Each structure stands twice: as C-alpha cells, then as structure tokens.
Chains A and B, each alone.
Chain A
C-alpha cells in the first residue's frame, strides 16, 4: 500500500511539473517567436504585384510571375533616405552584368508620390525596374521598418539573405553572385 501511495505521489508531481514546464515553454516560445522575422532566411518570399514606375504606360510587376526562375534582389528604398540613394549607383553598375546571368534587380520605393521617384530616376539614369509601394502593403508584407532593406531571393523563390542598412559595392557583388541560377553558373 505504501508503495502504491508513493507511486501516486510521483505521478501527481510529474503531472504538475509537466503542466508547469509546458506553460513556461509556451511563454518562452511565443516570446521568442515575436522577435522572429516575418520573412526569414530560407522561407518563401511573399508574392506581390506593384505598379512599375520607370516604364512607359501602365504596367505592373509581379514578383513570382515576371521573375520566375530568376534570382531577385529586392531593395526597399525611398528618395528621402540618404543611404538608399547612395547604394543605387552600385546597383545600376552591376545590373547589366547580372541581368545576363539571370538575376534581376527590383527596387521598391515607399515614397508617397510617383513624381519624386521619377525625378530621382531620370536624374540618376536608373534602368533596373522600380515599382511604387504607395500604400506600404508590400513593405508591411515583408515587415520592413528601416530603410534601406534588401532581400536576396533565390531562383526557387526562397530568401537567401536579408540585409538591413546600406550595402557596399563589394558586398553587393558577392550577394548577387549567391543567387545566380544554377544553369548560368
């Protein structure tokens, strides 16, 4: 009988401890998850469709449809963001080389008006596609808060790398190389 009682107590204690440990694990996991990025490295880049600015007529760009099978560098920027404007010439200088290798550069401007974007584009002779996220929907979907913010997306649509802040020419070159499709290597 005594043994039975002891066993009962062990079970009781184990159950209580398990419940408590469960609660603690739940608390820790949900808290750590909160800090996790919405679009993390290795995950699929969320699809989107935005109006292209530096093109004649009304045209939209769809990330997955228009760039299927290509590596994509997705750059969030704005005309009021100085470090963004500094890295734009680097992107322009590498664009022709990587376009041939199957890597696209796509810049998402979060400016309020197309006017300011167009002014900046025409003064800096940018030829890579630039789209306008006027409502901030794509910025929200990618959970971008600070500019510039850049995602390097593999040809299969997964995020290879995420960079917060400005890029140097060397780094940019290296990161673009990472997302060149296998067939072009």
Chain B
C-alpha cells in the first residue's frame, strides 16, 4: 500500500483526491473525481479515498469492488424493476385455474408470447431463484456501497484541519479575497458565526466554522433503515416469523387449524351476519341511496381446542378447550402467536331437509310418514312407519347434470339432490323419487306415492384467515430509522466557512452539502458591517 504524504505533513491513504487534513488536491489522483485545474473542486465525499476504486487484488476485493459501485447498484435496481414489470404481464401461476396444465394454459390463453413467458419461468417470477438473487444483490450493494463511503467520509471530516491549503480555499464555490482586514473585523465575524451556532476551530490564525455535520450521516442512517426492512422481508420466508393460511369452517363443524401440526382445532358455533337497520333514521337515507343492505357485522363465535396426547392423523383426538370468543373483522382470536381473522363467509348452506310421503294425487298432501335427512350424518335408509321405508339410492351434495348423468360438483351441500327408493306394503317393488331443491323429477309417471320437502335447515360457513407475523415490529423499526435518516439529511445542512489569511489578504470560502442560498444568507449576515468582501458564487461567474 502506497500512502501519500501531503505537503502539510499529513499521510493520506492511496486514492485520496483531496488531502484529508488541508484539502490540497493530490496531483496524481485528480482524474478520480474529474477535477480540472483551476476549476472548482469536486467536494464529493470530501475527496476521500473510496478504497474500492483503488484496490483490486484478492477475490474478496474484487467482489467488494463490484458491489461498491453505485453504477452497479443502479443497474441492479433497473433490472429488478424491469423483471418485476414483466412478471405482471400475465397472471402468475398461483392465479391461473388450479386444474389446468400451466404449459398449455399460457400457450392457449396468451399465444406465443405466453409460451415464451412460461418457458422463461416468468409464471413463477417472484419466487424464482434469480429474482430473489437480484433483490438480495440490491441489499448487498446497499450495504457495501454504504460502508465504502461512510468510513472514508467520516475519516476525512474527522481529520480536517482549520488550516487549509490555499488551492483548496480558492477552488471552493463561494470564495472572496479582501485586502487589509482589521483584527476587529475578523473577531466580529467570528462572534457572528458563534451566534449562528457555528463551531469554531482555529489554527495559526486560520479559522474553520462548521455546523450541521450530523446531516452528512442522514443517507447512511436511511440505508440502515432500508437494510432492516430488507432483513424483515427476508425473514418472512421462514414460517417461524410469517405464516398465512385459510380455512373454511361450517357452523357446528370442528376443524383442524392449518399450520399447527394438527395440534389445534377450531369449532364454529355460530356465524353472525348483521346489516344496518334501514328503519334507523341515521342510516335509512344512505341505505336507500345504495339500494342494498349494508353489512354492519361479520362474526364467528368460535371455540379453540388443543389436542391431548399425540394421536395419529385420522384418529379421533381428545380435545381440550383452550380459548373461545367472537372473531370479528380486525378482532382476531389467538392460538399462541397465530391470529385467526374473520375474512369471508357463505350464507345458507343446507344442513338438513325434511320430507314427507303422501299419495301423489292427494291435493292436501296428507302425510303418511316423515323423515329428516341430515347432511352431516345421512342414513342409507329411513323407516317411515306403517311398513313404509325410504332407501337413499344416491345423494348429490352439489347437484349438476354431467352429460345427462346426475353428479356432484363437491362434497358441500350447496344444492343437494336425492334419488330415493320408496318401499311399502302396497308397492310392488319400489318407487323412484328424484328430488332436487324445488323439484321432484319423477322418472316414471305411474308412481302412486310422492315425497315432498317439508322443511330445510340452513347453516352458514365462515372463512377464516390465519396469520402469524413477527416481522411487523422489524418493519416498523426499519421504517422509523429510514424516516430519521431522511429528516436528518433533508432538514439539516452541513455548512463550513473557512477564514484563510494569505499574504496580507483575508480569503474566505464557504461550502455546504445543500441549500447554497442558505449558506449565502449566513455569509451575508456574518459579514455585515465589516470590511470583509462577500464571497461570490464562482460557479455562476463561470
């Protein structure tokens, strides 16, 4: 490593552009920040040695150098943006119908572009390894870029001396020379600076007035916040920190709570759906305007059980109640750290249906026997008394016609249909009754008897979301630190004013990281009523 010794005696690390102590441009390194002779100095990072630009030996250094480039960081962000945008071109795989083959689906729905989209793996873009690697690289770039800049910057600001090299002073943006300035005037300027909360340091008559150095750390504080947010996002991949699942529970049903290793069950005792009262004068007008009912409450009264012992899956577990209560929107019920939220519902699923048998041509439909078909626990045969019985030949919970053949779409009794065989002492073999909701589709017209629905019992279904999220506090902390960094960098300014006696003249230079107008006003105020010349903006003079 080749250190550079400046004329002022300070030893700078290799790659330094402006001497850390006195600010003198180091001849051989001016190309790094693009400084040109006699023009203003580039004050970026105080002209400190960003080491990444100077060392490139071991593999570690090479990787470090790659990620420490802001250019690389910007490209990573651009690539991620482009990839993220492409991912929204067509639906991701999780949003296409579950039963179809994705290879065919993308080709058939979106043509050749869809096929390319699928083959490139864009249908699972956001969980693909290369996309995650891209996002992770942004994080790596953020960390290394920050370290690589904050350390030298800190060094340079700490090592700076009040006595600066004349070249440094002359090549600042705000600069002026004044002949024959009295000592009193200098003292006046210093006391004015103190009044404006500048910190004053002096070295052999050279004065450095500085304030708001704190502002320079804003971007790095901000990056720490971002990194914490990235870490939080990373942890979401792990079920210990983040879990989300869904479960439908019917009224009266006890169901396994997913994501609990079959250790917990939930029972839906009642689902409550309430609407605002249209007769209430407070709501009446609004309800009339929308023309429909407005829900006021979705609620599941639930009980939560823990499994006792370690039964095998499928064995009837012994359950111990551990919690009960009402689940309402935004008011979850907890199982350990798993919160159960109200999130959806289905009203009026069939629970049971009652039937009666009567003579087909009896207008009064006088009952000859009744039975109730319980959808949860149906029997294969019902005895109606007096020698009449009904055999359940087929039961379709969610009835539909599949090419002329009756079938069921699901196991849920949303639209049940039945084929009953009626046996009786005066029936030769049996009579077929085909019942669906609202109809009795008798296949034969010569039935003597008929089954009719006399009543139904309905139940509701509640849809519950399960959520565990230990990453939220981390997101919160990250966001707060992010904001602190933004405020720190935005609302404070790092201003420096140098007073530099030189050959009987008084040189004054000023620098700020932002808000040059504010610095100008500070200077005007400070130099008021003195003979010292107001510095000119040399950038404007050009």
Contacts and interface: CB of A to CB of B under 8 A. Distances in A.
A137 interface: yes
A140 B313 contact: yes
Given A80-B411, A140-B313, A9 B51 contact: yes
B237 A30 contact: yes
Interface string B138-149: 011001100100
A2 B3 contact: yes
Contacts of B139: 20, 23-24
A101 B409 CA distance: 37
A115 B1 CA distance: 85
Interface string A13-33: 110110010011011101110
Most buried by B among A3, A6, A60, A115: A115
A24 B136 contact: yes
A87 interface: no
A85 to B, nearest CB: 9
Given A119-B393, A137-B256, A24 B262 contact: no
Interface stretch (B58-66, B207-215, B290-298, B531-539): B58-66
A73 interface: no
A166 to B, nearest CB: 12
Most buried by B among A5, A131, A141: A141
A91 interface: no
B47 interface: no
Interface stretch (A42-50, A151-159, A173-181): A42-50
Interface stretch (B15-23, B113-121, B127-135, B268-276): B127-135
B379 interface: yes
B379 A48 contact: no
Contacts of A163: none
Given A48-B313, A62-B312, A23 B58 contact: no
Contacts of A118: 380
A47 to B, nearest CB: 5
B236 to A, nearest CB: 9
Contacts of A60: 315
A49 B412 contact: no
A34 interface: yes
A27 B234 contact: yes
A78 interface: yes
Given A6-B1, A146-B99, A137 B314 contact: yes
Contacts of A24: 133, 136, 139-140
Interface residues of B, number: 53
Interface residues of A, number: 51
A118 B395 CA distance: 11
A27 B136 contact: yes
A5 B378 CA distance: 82
A35 interface: yes
A27 B314 contact: no
A interface secondary structure, majority: helix
A138 B375 contact: no
A112 B397 contact: yes
Contacts, number: 129
Contacts of A32: 129
A122 to B, nearest CB: 10
A45 to B, nearest CB: 11
B234 A23 contact: yes
A13 B61 contact: yes
A112 B411 contact: yes
A116 B392 CA distance: 10
Interface string B370-412: 0000011111100000000000111101100010000111111
Contacts of A135: 254-256, 314
Contacts of A133: 314
Contacts of B127: 31, 34-35
B500 to A, nearest CB: 33
A136 B256 contact: yes
B3 A137 contact: no
B403 to A, nearest CB: 11
B313 A17 contact: no
A120 to B, nearest CB: 9
B60 A14 contact: yes
A124 interface: no
A46 B407 CA distance: 33
Nearest to B250: A112
Contacts of A92: none
A54 interface: no
B471 to A, nearest CB: 13
Interface in B139-172: 139-140, 143-144, 147
Contacts of B412: 112
Interface string A124-168: 000000010101111011000110000000000000000000000
Contacts of B99: 146
A48 to B, nearest CB: 4
Nearest to A12: B147
A93 interface: no
Contact of A113 (B140, B313, B376, B409): B376
Contact of B314 (A10, A13, A50): A50
Given A31-B237, A140-B258, A141-B313, A113 B375 contact: yes
Given A17-B64, A82-B407, A113-B378, 14 more contacts: A3-B1, A13-B60, A17-B60, A31-B127, A47-B312, A62-B312, A78-B411, A80-B407, A112-B411, A113-B375, A113-B377, A115-B379, A118-B380, A141-B262
5 contacts: A28-B133, A79-B411, A115-B395, A133-B314, A137-B256
Interface of B: 1, 3, 51, 58, 60-61, 63-64, 98-99, 127, 129, 132-133, 136, 139-140, 143-144, 147, 231, 234, 237-238, 254-256, 258, 262, 312-315, 375-380, 392-395, 397-398, 402, 407-413
The 3 closest A-B pairs by CB, nearest first: A50-B314, A112-B411, A30-B237
